[in-house]
Amino acid sequence: MGSCLTCFKAPPNPAANSVGTTGLVSGTEAAVLDPESAIHETADLLAASPIRMPSLGFGSDRKSGSFKKPIGILNGNALPDGSNLPGKDLATQISDNDLNKLFEEYKDEQEDAILSEGIERLCCELGYKPDDFAILLLAWRLDASQMCQFTKSEFIQGLQKMNAASIDDIKARLRQNIEKLKDDSEDFKLLYRFTFRFGLEPGQRILSLDMAISLWRLVFTVHTPDILPRWLHFLEQHQNIRGVPKDTWNMFLNFVETCDITQYDDTEAWPSLFDDFVEYEQERIKQAKGPPKDSDCHEEDDNNNGFNS
């Protein structure tokens, strides 16, 4: 967002300058017209006017000869009766002043953004480490464009959408979102795809292997597939892998949901890295079983003799 919403201000009160002048009546009439009559006449003129003007607040204090000031609109959303403007949701009701103050607490002294030091302080007050799953979730909700940085617009607009204007609010929203992700697979897919973009170095199109391993371990904190430890072990044993492109990252989610190592079909359109992993795993499983025992060999010979007889 980058700047506060413009405050709503009531237009100048035309009646305030006209009572007792020639604005409403002329000549000697102005001298004899009392304030009560002026108020009634002004109200009648406004009611008859085709131009819809804001209420001037005529009320129970007419006898005093003064006009009530319109009740201020809080953050541009509250009507005088305390209700909300049509079409405004909770996110737009967060005070811009509160969000700007919160941003200022963590922003860098030189840059108009929250950088590494500010993020560390924010994480500390939230009760998390910078590499905790909840902070990845926060970055997703703020739609952060890169690691170690929250721009002013990302921070303020993101918190508005989260309906959070304080540290306690953010804590509560993060807990709610973590619980929701445990059952909402569609939301998790959005978080998963965001994580790839979030981890990219500026100007790069593939994740470095080390970064991909770290992010896979982090993003699967809530939904941890059984195959994940073997997959990460495979990657750590093959440091010659150049990196992880976007299609490999995205398809891995389908891979862990549908793939059976023992029934893997290498003719399907999986990335070659998956083929290498399955081959590696099948060989590992074969070695784990070890050579056949003597009893197994004798049993096989007996079966063959019986077949040949």
pLDDT tens digits, one per residue of 117-159: 999 999 999 999 999 999 999 999 999 999 999 999 999 999 9
CA dist 237 and 301 (Å) reads: 39
Structural domains for the chain: 1-88 (no CATH), 93-181 (1.10.238.10), 186-289 (1.10.238.200)
pLDDT category at 303 given cuts 50, 70, 90 is low
pLDDT tens digits, one per residue of 269-300: 899 999 999 999 989 888 887 776 655 555 54
pLDDT at 227 over 70: yes
169 to each of 4, 14, 71, 166, 231, how far by Cα in Å? 20, 43, 28, 5, 37
Range 243-247 average pLDDT = 96
pLDDT tens digits, one per residue of 14-34: 444 443 333 333 444 444 445
CA dist 298 and 148 (Å) reads: 64
- Angle among Cα 149, 93, 113 to the nearest 5 degrees reads 15
The whole model's pTM is what?
Answer: 0.65
